[in-house]
Amino acid sequence: MLHTCCVDVTPDPGAAGDWTAPGTYEVSRGVFRLPLPLPNDGLRAVNVYAIAADDGLVLVDSGWAIPAAREALDTALDALGHTLADVRRFLVTHVHRDHYTQAIYVRREFGTSVSLGAGDKGSLDIVMTPARAPLKEQLQHLRLLGASVLVDKLMAALGPDHDPVKAGWELPDVWLQGGERIDAGALQLEAVPTPGHTQGHMVFHDTASSLLFAGDHVLPTITPSIGFEPVLSPNPLGDFLSSLAVVRGRPDARLLPAHGPVTDSVHVRVDQLVAHHGKRLDETLAAIAAGAVSAYDVAGQLTWTRRERKLDELDPFNQMLAIAETAAHLELLAAQGRVAYDDVDGLRCYRVG
């Protein structure tokens, strides 16, 4: 098949365009953003980034293993004069299926090397368990948070079990520990551990060209879910805020997120995220002071999304994320001594500390 290199590549429109529109967008010389579709419409799309190197391509993240995403990736690479056979390595920011699973499918065909942060091993081991009930651990945790009614609803919707092989769950070739320097064409990427969204989350930073491949750690228009993993950190929001401080302490860079448009400054967005969570912590504490007992109670008193929706206006999946995130705020308040809790008959009961 003949390729005319780069004929369909357009400059990245940044925040001025619809970031979800399929295509091959040049973000920086030799660095391309390839938005791929997702099966659910909540996040709308996931950005995979392709970096041109002498011996092929390095891809940051891979997309969700669904036929539409595979087709979009084939088309986007074709615009670069490449095929999936030219991808020599996937650097996956974290284990969530919209980032990881397509890499596993591609590896089955082409033997491509797949790298993932070592901190995600615990969660991956669990999701690789055959016939595990989907979201089993997360749903158990949700009961402790006071959301049993929601759990029953979700279990009815999810069905009995899942097939890890079909879903694209296999171990990576390389476990990244953090601190690795990875050659990718003109870029030298440093793998920087940023636990929070998941425990193994990695961002990839090239300081010379001021680019940060941020995965879901720093998103330009939304906040990543926190506190929703099969193996949960004792203080996921504390981890996340520490990881925001890590990237804030590094040289500023353009933000290349997994969901949303490319923007100019990681630091500007980190400051906004820190302010958001500070406000959220105050609101959470105020809800406990006003008599809320469980994370579910608190989540019901807060508003959600930029549209300030009430908890029961969200779909069940997003209600689950909202309650888990509320619990993450409560765990951090507990670690700070601002609230205390006891587990009483399978319910975590908070009070002002």
Summarize as ranges the residues that interact with Zn ion (CB under 5 A): 98, 216
Cβ 26 to Zn ion shortest distance, Å: 23
Cβ 60 to Zn ion shortest distance, Å: 12
Residue matched to tokens 């901190």: 119
| Residue 44 vs 250, nearer CB to Zn ion | 44
In the sheet with 254-257, reading across from the earlier edge strand, the strands are 181-184, 187-193, 202-206, 211-215, 254-257
Q: Which long-range contacts (CB under 8 A, 24 or more apart) does 222-227 make?
A: 222/259, 222/260, 222/306, 223/273, 223/276, 223/277, 224/196, 224/197, 225/197, 225/321, 225/324, 225/325, 226/196, 226/197, 226/324, 226/325, 226/328, 227/324, 227/325, 227/327, 227/328, 227/331
**Do the beta carbons of residue 227 and residue 240 sit within 8 Å?**
no
Cβ 121 to Zn ion shortest distance, Å: 19
| Residue 216 vs 331, nearer CB to Zn ion | 216
| Distance (Å, whole) CA 116 – CA 258 | 15
Cβ 216 to Zn ion shortest distance, Å: 4
Instruction: Supply 167's token pair.
Output: 């879903």
| Residue 47 vs 112, nearer CB to Zn ion | 47
| Residue 12 vs 216, nearer CB to Zn ion | 216
Instruction: Name the closest residue to Zn ion (Cβ).
Output: 216
Cβ 52 to Zn ion shortest distance, Å: 24
| Residue 115 vs 284, nearer CB to Zn ion | 115
